[in-house]
Each structure stands twice: as C-alpha cells, then as structure tokens.
Amino acid sequence: MEHYFTNNENLKSEIREITYQTNDITLTFLSDNGVFSKNKIDYASKLLVETFLKYHSKLDSELVLDVGGGYGFIGITLAKLTGATVEIIDINKRAIHLCEKNIKLNEINNCKAFESNVYENVLNKYKYIITNPPIRAGKEIVLKILMEAKEYLDEDGELWFVINKDQGAKSTKKALEKWYNIEIVEKSKGFFVFRAKIS
Ligand SMILES: C[S@@+](CC[C@H](N)C(=O)[O-])C[C@H]1O[C@@H](n2cnc3c(N)ncnc32)[C@H](O)[C@@H]1O
C-alpha cells in the first residue's frame, strides 16, 4: 500500500493548485498525487500555523524548521508572514520538489527545502521547530521527530506540534514530559496544539 511518505517515482503526476488566504495575502501551493493532503490545506496544519502566529506574528532573523513539511504549507506561510528564515525537510522527494516550486511561485527568498529522513541531513539549530507529524508513519517515527527536536533547538527554543486526541495526543504529551515543559495552547475539533520548551 502506498503512503504519502513513500517515494514512488512511477506514481502518475496530476498537479493541482491550492490557495490559502490570510488577511490580505494569498499564497498558492502546487500539490500532487503521493503527498499528504493533496487536495486541500490540512485542517490541523492550518490550526497549528494560525495558533503559532498568535504568539509569534513577527520574527527577525530567527531560524525555523518545519519537519515533514509536505508541499510546504506550514514553512512557506511562516516564512511569508513572520519574516523568519525557514527550512523545510521531508523524506518524500516529490514533496520537496513541490516545496521548491512553491517557494519560487510565492517569491519567498527566506525559505529552503531539502530531503531528510527525520533529522538525518539537518545541520543547524533553530529557535522554533514546527511539525504536523506523520502519524501514519507510526508512533516510533513521531516520537523520534518530537524527542530528537531538542538536539536541534536553541536552549530557549520551542517545539510546536499538533496531534489529534484520537491519535495519541495525551500519551505523546506524557512521553515528552520528561524532557520538555509542555503545554496545550489550543484545542479545536479534537486537535491539540502543543508548545514544548526544553526543561
Ligand atoms: C502529516 S504530514 C504534514 C505535511 C505538511 N506539513 C502539511 O501540513 O501539509 C507529515 C509529513 O511527514 C513526512 N514524513 C514521514 N516520515 C518522515 C520521516 N521519517 N522524516 C521526515 N519526514 C517524514 C511525510 O512525507 C509528510 O509530508
């Protein structure tokens, strides 16, 4: 069975265009078969971004990492709206290719995307790491993304993520409490948005 995180170069390409409107800014995203939420911006990702922006609407030169960025909705929106320097990683080659197109399409020059299995190709440290983690890749990968984030965060950095209550939001919070001060900053339609700081 194909998943949105498997690399399948033979999968037929059917590019579609999705737009996201916020205030007076419209962002356009090209999407395709074989990537997560290919036909519309994912509700949980939108909730995560819009909650993050309530706390950090303007950033200067801070570095932000979007882990499992898909076609780039979270990372590109934050680069455009906050001014931060954003890096997007994903294991899915097609997703990274779409990210690169979407960065150009939206004329963003403070954002780049590269392939990485979890943090394998990541060299920097970040003020913010943000992720809508790949639940379907399994709990082990999700916990690896969330646990190992602390190795890539500045000392005063923050990890932001979203999980549904039916997909282990509470058990994930418990598992992370040993390493992070973690709080729920938003709840909507069963999705919890978390902010975690290294304790
Ligand atoms: C829930 S989707 C979120 C996608 C995107 N952020 C969005 O909002 O549309 C999770 C993403 O994680 C990626 N992913 C899965 N396993 C991964 C891994 N081991 N390392 C990096 N990314 C991974 C998937 O390819 C997918 O794009």
How far, in Å, is the centroid of ligand 1 from the Cα of 69? 6
7: phi then psi, degrees, rounded to nearest 5: -90, 115
Integer CA distances (angstroms), 74 to 140, 171, 178, in order: 23, 24, 27
Ligand 1 atom at shortest distance from the alpha carbon of 37: 9
Pocket residue to mutate for ligand 1, from 2, 5, 48, 76, most atoms within 8 A of Cβ: 5
pTM above 0.85, yes or no: yes
Distances from the Cα of 186 to the Cα of 3, 45, 133, angstroms: 28, 13, 17
The alpha carbon of 138 and the centre of ligand 1 are apart by a number of angstroms equal to 12
Pocket of ligand 1 (CB under 6 A): 4-5, 36-37, 42, 45, 68-70, 73-74, 89-92, 95, 117-118, 132, 134, 137, 141
* 116 Cα: distance to centroid of ligand 1 (angstroms): 10
Q: Are strands 85-90 and 63-67 parallel, antiparallel or unpaired?
A: parallel
CB-based burial, 124-151: b 16+ in 10 Å, e otherwise: eebbbbbbbbbbebeeebbbbbbeebbe
- Measured in Å, residue 86 CA sits from the centre of ligand 1 at 16
Q: How many whole angstroms separate alpha carbon 166 and alpha carbon 135?
A: 11
Residue-range domains of the chain with CATH: 43-198 (3.40.50.150)
Backbone conformation region of residue 14, classed left if phi is above 0, alpha if psi is from -120 to 50, else beta: beta
The CA-atom distances, in angstroms, between 134 and each of 8, 25, 158 are 17, 28, 19
Instruction: Lay out the sheet containing 153-164: strands in order across.
Output: 111-115, 85-90, 63-67, 126-131, 153-164, 191-198, 180-188
Counting from 1 in the atom list of ligand 1, the atom nearest the Cα of 117 is: 20
List per-block mean pLDDT (blocks of 10 residues) for the chain, which spans 199 residues: 68 95 94 96 98 96 96 98 98 97 98 98 98 96 98 98 95 95 98 97
